[in-house]
Structure 1
């Protein structure tokens, strides 16, 4: 299986500029405005007026960049647009229709059909389902139509208004008082909404890991974690997964394992590997502006005691964890993606023999994004992951890699309805499958208290006799560890 090339890593970063909702909005309005006025590109006065008018609306662009208006809050985005129409009493219908057409061309055809066909082999007819998924989607990407539409319709209307005034009049003729009052009103409105209604973020641990002393004596020879990316908990329970069910029932299951906010893949993986939250490790979306984490990872902790760890995953993860990642190309038919990843995992085990190995399976997540989570294809992809994990574990056993090894199975986040959305913690995203299995792990135990994925990092280092990562806040998952093992470690 091919590694992700340098070009693919750069392309992934570029795609995130369009995929992530925050950068998409300004990119989209600039592109739309320029295309709408393409006939004027040869006029120097046009460029002067378009830049001046854009400068005027920059405060509104910044406001909509800072405030996401997630989930139910997106319904309130239409009120500023209605207020604009009432106050300024003008809009360019042809511009707004052009913007709507361009948006749905990008999301439904270019992204949902053309992009997914080239990257993972979906049908050229994927648009026949994808348009419904975009309208329903609630995640923090550009495919969140109910959030993006009121944002770009307002920003484009304001930009066109000031462009026309600069083109035919002087800046002195602009009603600055009305505009400043409008901006101030939208800012106050946004602050009040987010302070009073945006109240569903997971509660964070405020202290560093301290529920058990650091363990200087390894309990396990190896820890292997398999992350089935985007595996929604209730859909996992509905899927045909006999092997994973056996591991779950003969190990310790955490039924209320919570992901972090925002529930984006690179964010979640980074929190799992550092034991802390985005505000501290610095990775706040899949779009990573500054490469690397600000704090120690599991891999750093293991190096302190002469041990090694590897993460096998897609190119996005390099932006966070750098050289500790072995990449896999995400450009392959989704029918063979996870099979190829497992085959690559076997090669890495043979060649590098890491003490800690984390493998990301991507097929379930990609199916959810391209075909939705409420369809049979999604369940079938989870069932496929079950068979591949079984194959990998049997291979590990046959080659002696499962001796005194703890196996951890989980998802990084769930997926909501629509295009398998995840980010804002809509229903189906927040709680993920999570269970542990191995000789030092309690058998047949169910832990129903709420826990967080930030506990993964300190639990791994505890089992392997390494110090907790420097900013680890999640408690070690001691409920899963056999009492005898804890006593020996202490």
Structure 2
């Protein structure tokens, strides 16, 4: 299987400018405004007015960068727009119709149909389902129509008003003060579902200088929703869970974006500390130690096998796979590459990202049969991989950890704002050092993964690890 090329890594970063909601908003609004006035035959004087009236929208662009308006809060985005209409009675109908048309063309046809067909082989008729997913989507991407449309309509209306009218500055100042205060109050008092931050570094047990396991293998089924996993016919994974320790209340981090989640899982801390706040990574690399740095201190090797996005965070500790392949063969190709890496590098820690389930959720939705089928397929592939590890003598004292980095919500497999289906993820451990048939119902966070791996492999905790070691899963000393 091919690695992600340099071009693919750059293309993935460029795509995130359009995929992630915060950079998309200004790109889309500015692009729409330019196209609209180009169609009209723009003059030098109009260019000057466009530039000067753009300044009028800057406070709104800043506002929408600072405040997320997640989940049901996006309904309140319409209030400032309604107030604008009431005060200034200005509706640039043709401009707004162009914006709505361009938005749905981009999301439904360019992204949902052309992009997914070329990248993962979805049908050319994917638009027949994708439009419904865009309307329902609640995540923090550009495909969240209920968030992006009211933002764009207000920004374009204010901008176009400044082109055609003399601006009464005190009125707009008062309007912006209201919008900022309104946003602050909403996010201060209604945005209350973020996971609780652990306010201290890992201290529930001292670092373990003597390794319990020779090897830890973490199998991450990207985007596997917990309730859909329960509905799937996945006998091998469920047998691992039944013969190991199951953490039934394992919580992901906020925002629940793939690069954020993997970074938190492998550093043991949160975005405010490691610096990765979305899939759009403005400054490459993390600000803290990862589990791979901790392993190097004791002469041990680790890698994560994953898509190009992860390089932006974890750099050379990532063995990349190309994400440009038909989704029906993606996870099988990843498994074969995983075998090759284990044969060549004989790693102490190996984290494998299976992407088929997540990509199906994004392109086809999570409440359809295709999504469950991908979970069932990855179950068979993981069984084959584990059986191969046994054949190669690499399972004698190995701990397996199976989990998802985040769940997925309704719509286009949305994840980010912790809608229903995103927050709690499957997470279970299996191996000779792990308690059998144990169920842990206490709430834990994925930030416990890194310190738990360090404890199992006899390495120090990563520098800013906050999650507690999952000692409840470990056999007592006399039982080992």
**When the two structures are superposed, what TM-score results if normalisation uses the length of structure 1?**
0.97
CA distance in 2, matches of 1:448, 1:455: 15
Q: Tell me what 1:152 maps to.
A: 152
Aligned partner of 2:230 in structure 1 is 237
1:414 is paired with a residue whose SS is coil
**Partner in structure 2 of residue 446 of structure 1:** 439
| 2:85 aligned partner | 85
User: Which residue of structure 1 lines up, in the alignment, with residue 240 of structure 2?
Assistant: 247
Partners of 1:353 and 1:333 lie apart in 2 by 29
Aligned mates of 1:80, 1:464 — CA distance in 2: 54
| SS of residue matched to 2:119 | helix
Q: After superposition, give the CA deviation of every residue in 1:48-71 in whole Å (9 maximum; x if it has no partner).
A: 221111112101111011111000
Listed one character per residue, the Cα deviations across residues 301-321 of structure 1 (whole Å, up to 9, x for unaligned) are 000000010000000000000
Mapped to 1, the partners of 2:42 and 2:34 lie a distance apart of 12
- Count of residues in Structure 1 that have an aligned counterpart in Structure 2: 480
1:41 is displaced (CA, Å) by 6.2
Q: Does residue 463 of the first structure (1) align with residue 456 of the second (2)?
A: yes
Deviations 1:108-154 (A, max 9, x none): 00000000000000000000000000000000000000011110000
Deviation at 1:37, TM superposition (A): 0.7
Kept in 1, the 8 Å contact 2:56–2:158? The answer is no
Residue 119 of structure 2 corresponds to which residue in structure 1? 119
Contact 1:264 1:413 in 2 (8 A): yes
Write the deviation string for residues 2-22 of structure 1: whole angstroms up to 9, x where unpaired.
000000000000000000001
1:404 alignment counterpart: 397
- The whole-number CA distance in structure 2 between the counterparts of 1:386 and 1:204 is 32
Range moving further from structure 2, 47-56 or 331-340: 47-56
What residue number does 1:168 align with?
Answer: none
State yes or no: 1:297 paired with 2:290. yes
| Alignment match, 1:45 | 45
CA distance in 2: counterparts of 1:364 and 1:389, whole angstroms = 13
SS in 2 for 1:226: strand
In angstroms, what is the RMSD of aligned CA positions? 1.0
Aligned equivalents of 2:299 and 2:456: distance in 1? 15
Alignment of 1:59-458 (within 5 A): 59-165=59-165, 173-458=166-451
Structure 2: runs of 5+ lacking an equivalent: none
The alignment partner of 2:207 has SS state of coil
Deviations 1:325-374 (A, max 9, x none): 00000000000000000000000001111100000000000000000000
| Deviation (angstroms), 1:204 | 1.1
SS of 1:359 mapped into structure 2: strand
Does the aligned pair in 1 maintain the 2:77–2:147 contact within 8 Å? Answer: yes
CA distance in 1, matches of 2:412, 2:303: 30
Deviation string, structure 1 residues 369-389 (Cα, Å, up to 9, x no partner): 000000000000000000000
The alpha-carbon deviation at position 91 of structure 1 amounts to: 1.3
Report if aligned partners of 1:408, 1:435 keep a CA contact under 8 Å in 2.
yes
- The answer (yes or no) to whether the contact 1:41–1:47 under 8 Å persists in 2 is no
TM-score, normalised by the number of residues in structure 2: 0.99
User: Partners in 2 of 1:290 and 1:40 — Cα distance?
Assistant: 39
